[in-house]
Amino acid sequence: MKAKESIRIAVDIGGTFTDGLAVLTPGGRIWVGKTLTTPSDPGVAVTTVIVDLLRQLASARGDVASSVTEVVHGTTLVTNTLIERKGAKTGLIVTQGTRDVLTIGREIRYELYDLNLEIPQPLVAEGKRLEAAERMDVEGHVVQPLAQAEVDRLMDALAGLEVEAVGVCFLHAYVNEAHEKQIEAAIHRRFPQLAVSISSNIAREIREYERMSTVAANAYVQPLMAEYLNRLDTRVHELAPQAPLRIMVSSGGFTSGKAAAESPILLLESGPAGGVLSALNTARNAGIDQILAFDMGGTTAKACVAVGGEPLVSHSFECARVARFKRGSGLPILIPSIDLIEIGAGGGSIAHVNDLGLLNVGPESSGAVPGPACYGQGGIEATVTDADLVLGYLNADNFLGGAMKLRRDLAEAALGKLAAKLKLTTTDIAWGVCNIVNENMAAAARIHIAEKGHDPREFAMVATGGAGPVHVVEVARKLQIPRVLATIAAGAGSCLGLLAAPARVDRAWSQPCLMKDIDWKKVATAYDGMRSDAEAELNSAGASKLAIKWFIGAEMRYAGQGHNVSVSLPWRKVGAATAPALLKTFETNYRQLYGHLVPGAAPQVITWRLTGRSLVKSHTFKWGDERSSGKPVMRGKRDIFLPLKKKYAPVPVYDRYSLRPGTRLTGPVVLEERESTLVVPVKSDLRILPDYTVSVTIKEF
């Protein structure tokens, strides 16, 4: 190692595989590791991947452990804990009269005519919710003080709940947190072992049900995540003593392990957010500013619209749905998150015959254990990966570079059981599974793009994830998207995004007010407090030496409406002079979404927002190992199923990284790499870009 060289490592835990990637700076040389996720202890897979990366680096560069300067981590552990209901025993303290808010919810039937509708159960049982005799009004003025005798009574009641974590959510605490802070201090004094989450720290926004749900969820996962992150920090430092642990958050930035342990709910979408950042980095290098990021792994497939080189960020999210694709069937969470939509199944999603006798796919997944049938690890159900193998899209002898052999006979046996039920051929079933998945993903993505006011034909589609490049061309073709990009190391694309992620922090403060009545002095004071708090968190994440770009924002609507429009402006001194720019941006965004303004309506600010992030840079990567070669390596031809011709035909198969930048090919063609496979089953023009991204222009729709 040269004295000025350093190494950064990213590790992302997925439902099926845990991916890792190390980058050498300067130069951007990368090494990739991948192993099956270990659900019983996810940190084992993380450690396995880091050890593998250090082994590869040592082979190429000598002893490198002391040169690792940072480990960035993304995980689905929070999501899985909420889905599987394996969190801590949790209590909740609320304002008197609001104990049943979690049970009542919004009283919305997400499936109007389903007589057996399953409603998501609250994370905190009714018997573990305590009511406090206190009250603030909507302006934050004290209506009923929180007396010390009441605090003592609550502490005595809390002692009898036998909980490991407690949330506190008082009415209008987003304006005045004094009573929540009083309870928090009392809990810390009497029960120092308890994890405490208060709404004024976690979700300082209006909407009582959503805010209470968010606080309950944070408290529910906090003990587990604190233990996991502390143990992982120890494991990382044993392998790389000089490397601090950074954690990816759902909004597309990273924070410190300490901040993540205090607010673990911010990690809900940390892995998929990394895939979006990787897609954006690739698009920037290719000069494209409108993309549909498409990330398909072993368990799920997700998509995100990004315009102007920036992902859309949502400030409300729904998790742990009891009906996977039904909006309203999950727990509402108020966190800043890259606006992702789950559009379909992953490679491990199970195919089955439904109650109507029709072929269907998902939402159940084979996961990492036992995995698809073709993995030969005990799985007997047919999955998307089994279908891809039978269709010729995957190479049974080159999965993970040959480290993992796929069993075509087991895949055919699993698909054959479905074929017998439906009296079809195995090929019919395999293509049916693949086509159903592609059609479902295209339909969901089409709606997602339309909801943002855009036309999919104006976009390019960027694929990441192990299964993303396998399916991306067919999904793009169904959407009439003419251009597809497959990133370098697409199978570990989320890790590329983790390494490209900026440091980021978000703060919010709700006080609904008509624009004409805004107290700008009060708003300016609130921004001063939010920025001071945000800067402290950025410093804890190691961002003190980074150039931070600040934005002010707001959730706005016309008075009387129920849905907000997000507005963002570069940082400026907040005052009455801010109003014209705020209104102009609101009207531009409103017109983009709805086509016209509302004549005579009064604009209203609901929530003020602050975002700080380090500068977003374009990163280019190249392989650190010997994957790249001097001339194209054609591995022969393989029969693959061509969807437009409805039959198998031989197509050329290339080692992807033997194709140097500037190389041009025509489809149909298959490009193989260790962690993924790019399948182009229709007429297309392919070009290898300077950063080893594959650009596919589809010629057949």
What are the DSSP calls for 171-188, one per residue? Answer: TTTTT--HHHHHHHHHHH
Is the domain of 165 the same as that of 208?
yes
My answer on whether 395 and 536 are in the same domain is no
Burial of 148 (0-12, 13-18, 19+ CB in 10 A): exposed
Spatial contact of 217 and 202, defined as CB atoms under 8 Å apart: no
Shared domain for 174 and 289, answered yes or no, is no
Q: Which of 236, 213, 233 is nearest to 225 (CA)?
A: 233
Do 588 and 627 fall within a single domain?
no
**DSSP label at residue 336:** -
State whether 231 and 244 are in the same domain: yes
332 preceded by cis ω (within 30°)?
Answer: no
Query: Residue 321: its pLDDT value, please?
Result: 80
3-class DSSP assignment, residue 331:
strand
What lies within 8 Å, CB to CB, of 208 at 6+ separation is 98, 101, 169, 171
Q: Which of 215, 227, 262, 266 is nearest to 91 (CA)?
A: 215
Q: Three-state DSSP class for 193? A: coil
Integer Cα distance of 698 and 689 in angstroms:
16
Sign of the four-CA dihedral 188, 191, 192, 193: negative
pLDDT confidence of residue 610: 94
Query: What is the per-residue pLDDT for 191?
Result: 95
State how far the alpha carbon of 352 is from the alpha carbons of 297, 300, 426, 429, 633, in Å.
Answer: 20, 17, 14, 10, 39
Structure confidence by residue, pLDDT tens digits, 311-364 = 888 888 888 888 766 778 889 999 888 888 877 667 788 899 988 888 988 777
Answer yes or no: do 629 and 510 share one domain.
no
Domain that holds residue 188: 88-221
Residues 453 and 563 in one domain: no
576 with 628, same domain: the answer is no
CB contact set of 69 (below 8 Å; sequence gap of 6+): 6, 7, 8, 242, 243
Q: List alpha helices for 4-139, DSSP H.
A: 42-61, 77-84, 101-104
Low-confidence ranges of the chain (pLDDT < 70): 1-3, 65-66, 324-325, 344-345, 368, 544, 625-630
Q: Burial of 384 by CB count in 10 Å (0-12 exposed, 13-18 middle, 19+ buried)?
A: buried
SS (H, E, C) 602-670: CEEEEEEEEEEEECCCCCCCEECCCCCCCCCCEEEEEEEEECCCCEEEEEEEEEHHHCCCCCEEEEEEE
Q: What is the chain's length?
A: 701
Domain presence at residue 323: no
Query: What's the pLDDT at 272?
Result: 79
- Residue 324: its pLDDT value, please? 65
Within a domain: 317:
no
Question: Exposed (0-12), middle (13-18) or buried (19+): which is 540, by Cβ within 10 Å?
Answer: middle
Residue 474 CA, distance from chain mean position: 23
Contact 363, 357 (CB under 8 A): no
Residue carrying structure tokens 């041009």:
664
User: Within this chain, do residues 627 and 697 fall inside the same structural domain, yes or no?
Assistant: yes
CA angle 327, 332, 333 (to 5 degrees): 130
Split into its structural domains, the chain has a count of 4
Regarding whether 186 and 128 lie in a shared domain, the answer is yes
- Same-domain check for residues 373 and 476: yes
Cis peptide before 363 (omega within 30 of 0): yes
- The answer on 308 and 238 residing in a single domain is no
> How confident is the model at residue 624, as a pLDDT?
77
DSSP per-residue string spanning 241-253 = TT--EEEE-TTS-
What per-residue confidence (pLDDT) applies to 486? 93
H-type alpha helices, 14-144: 42-61, 77-84, 101-104
Do 328 and 322 contact (CB within 8 A), yes or no? no
State residue 344's pLDDT score.
Answer: 66
